[in-house]
Amino acid sequence: MSNLWGGRFSKQMTHYTADYNESISFDHKLYKYSIMGSAAHVKMLARQGIVSDEVCAQIQSGLKAVEKKLDQNEVEFSILDEDIMMIIEKALIEEIGDAGKYLHTARSRNDQNALDEALFLREAVKKTIGHLKDLLEVIVNKAEEEAHKIMPGFTHLQHAQPITVGFYYMAHFQGLRRDLERLQESLKRLNVNPLGACALAGTTLPTDRHYTTALLGFAAPSENAMDTVANRDGIAEYLFNAALCMTHLSGFAEEIIVFNSQEFNFITLEDSFCTGSSIMPQKKNPDIAELVRGKAGRAIGNLVTLLTVLKGTFLTLNKDYQEDKEALFDSIHTLDRTLFIFARMLEQMTFNEAVLKAQLKKGFIEATDIAEFLVVNGIPFREAHEIVGELVKHCEQQGKAFAEVVKEDLIHVGFPVELNDLSQFTVESCIEKRNSFGGTSYDEVERQIRNAKAFLSRI
């Protein structure tokens, strides 16, 4: 039999059964991590006297040879061999003979697979953190570059209050910062060594899991072998983190798409991040931003896929768990590419200040500041809110903006503080006075940028 578990079987899988059963078509990506784990495992076996030093040396040499062949695509993959772990063991035996048959001592593909995924995911998380840091650095730079520009802030897609572009960028910084922090936190839970759990209950052989833990750079061996084999929390956590990060990016992308529209024209996107139409020569479509918005669906779908796979499975290993890898690989690929290209797109994006200034004249955007002015003058906020609401209604009926209000208008609505006009309430004064902690004032945005830089310097 070509497969390595065939002793109990009298009949091989049919081709179509083997094709449905295999994972080598995608888990081959784990070969370096599988070899890394195998090298540590056999070194431990020799140290514990379970295999001879001579066998250990032959296996170590053979693993290096197999890895080189895999690097150069010289190892033939067969669906009958099922997965990368069996491919490596088979290639090792072909390379060094019977000594290779000792490799699987005191180990199962169950804990081997968990180890390969842990080693792979630990490295993948660090790479994703690097991409997130790159994007956050771009956001901070853009916040500094365009900190002086004032734009409308929105609730319900309606003009709400004036904010600065720097404040807008720093708002997106915070959500993505939390994404990075969640990834950092996940590294603590990934830093546990599954190797040595074996099939589900450990082994009768005198292995030393603490030694392989040190060799592989983990903080500790896993506590319970049964949980170890069934545990896919690290993958589920990455998929959640990826889905939430892509959701944040999707919302950011949606704003870019809307702000780029001719109705808004708040921003200018560089041509290299847009495409044209095959029939309409005038079109400049924000396709990269739209793809970011669309690819969020992949990440969310991958999370739902794994949670559905894990739901209701019996401890400990089930073949269902093979479905964890394609979802993981896809989310890593999608998120890392998206973070990179989003950063490059933002670097070349600018807010159109003249358009923003024109938009700020619409929607009575200074209304909250006028209400708070009344509060300072002893008017309860709920009364102040109603008075300013009456003023807005009056202005709409008269076709006036706040800048056109005169004393007679204020008297008409019963404005309780004597003013000749509303000239003191400008969008600039709204920004300057909104200096509560976390607010949009220039000083507060500068503080937020300083804190963001300090955070990034610690990564």
pTM, two decimals, is: 0.93
Inter-residue contact 269 to 309 (CB < 8 Å): no
Q: 154 — phi, psi (to 5°)? A: -120, 145
* CA angle, residues 399, 400, 403, in degrees to nearest 5: 165
pLDDT value for 15: 83
Evaluate the CA torsion angle 376, 381, 383, 387 in order and state its sign: positive
Q: What are the pLDDT digits (tens) for 52-90?
A: 999 999 999 999 999 999 999 999 998 888 899 999 999
Catalytic residue among 261, 272, 277, 423: 277
Q: How many CB atoms lie within 10 A of CB 105?
A: 15
Identify the bridge partners of residue 285 per DSSP, sorted by sequence position: 275
Q: Is 277 a catalytic residue?
A: yes
**Which stretch of DSSP H or E encloses residue 235?**
helix 233-260
Inter-residue contact 194 to 113 (CB < 8 Å): no
Place of tokens 């945005």: 445
pLDDT by residue for the chain (459 residues), tens digit each? Answer: 355 555 555 567 778 888 888 989 999 999 999 999 999 999 999 999 999 999 999 999 999 999 999 999 999 998 888 899 999 999 999 999 999 999 999 999 999 999 999 999 999 999 999 999 999 999 999 999 999 999 999 999 999 999 999 999 999 999 999 999 999 999 999 999 999 999 999 999 999 999 999 999 999 999 999 999 999 999 999 999 999 999 999 999 999 999 999 999 999 999 999 999 899 989 999 999 999 999 999 999 999 999 999 999 999 999 999 999 999 999 999 999 999 999 999 999 999 999 999 999 999 999 999 999 999 999 999 999 999 999 999 999 999 999 999 999 999 999 999 999 999 999 999 999 999 999 999 999 999 999 999 999 999
Place of tokens 């949670």: 307
Q: Which domains does the chain show, CATH number per domain?
A: 14-105 (1.10.275.10), 110-358 (1.20.200.10), 361-447 (1.10.40.30)
* Joined tokens for residue 272: 């290299």
Q: Are strands 350-351 and 267-268 parallel, antiparallel or unpaired?
A: antiparallel
Catalytic residue among 156, 278, 436, 457: 156
Rounded Cα–Cα distance for residues 138 and 136 (Å): 5
Rounded Cα–Cα distance for residues 387 and 382 (Å): 9
* Joined tokens for residue 385: 């809110």
Q: What are the pLDDT digits (tens) for 427-437?
A: 999 999 999 99
Q: How many CB atoms lie within 10 A of CB 97?
A: 11
Inter-residue contact 453 to 140 (CB < 8 Å): yes
pLDDT value for 18: 86
